[in-house]
Amino acid sequence: MASSDWLPGAIQRIRRTPLMREDDGTRVELGREALERLLPHRSPMLLVDGIDRIDHVAGLVRGHRRLHPDDLGFAGHFPGEPIYPGVLLIETMGQLAITLLHFQGVQTTDVAPGTVPPRVRATHIHHATFLAPAVPGDLLTLHAGVVEHNFTMIAAGQVFKGDTLVAYSIAEVYVDE
């Protein structure tokens, strides 16, 4: 993308309301086994617990993550008052967005046993905002959508804790296809 004229509009769209409403798309129940076929990440860096909605038409996916006291990042961030690091929230949103490569490519909600994760690498964080802390015990609802998919994929992501928007970002990954 030659210019970033699109960025303010993209930020405006994700800073207030969830990308997916409760009744958008198709309800699914995809857990760790499916995620390991969709993502190249493994524990402790596999940061999405499950996917519960997919909207092929809009290019959106919704998932979730439960934060545990022993999760990566809590031990030293911050002792006595642990807060999940913002960079890991960005990574979590990015991982969910990567799953869209599969769902949009095959136009199904299934993850076949032979599915192999794409080779990807983060290239750019266009924008990130952190509005509320995420702490051990929180159940986070994750939203991701494709802004553009050409040579790279630019995706928007959101993290909610209940109705509270915790963080949102727009990031870019290179996809080695």
User: C-alpha distances in angstroms, 23 versus 12, 32, 65, 99, 160?
Assistant: 22, 24, 20, 20, 17
Closest by Cα among 139, 153, 50, 37 to 96 = 50
Find the catalytic residue in 56, 64, 77, 149.
77
Question: Between the CA atoms of 157, 134, 160 and 148, what dihedral angle is there, to the nearest 10 degrees?
Answer: 0
Q: Mention every residue, 6+ apart, whose C-beta is less than 8 A from residue 83.
A: 77, 133, 134, 135
Determine whether 64 is an active site residue: no
C-alpha 164/C-alpha 176 separation (Å) is: 35
Active site residues: 77
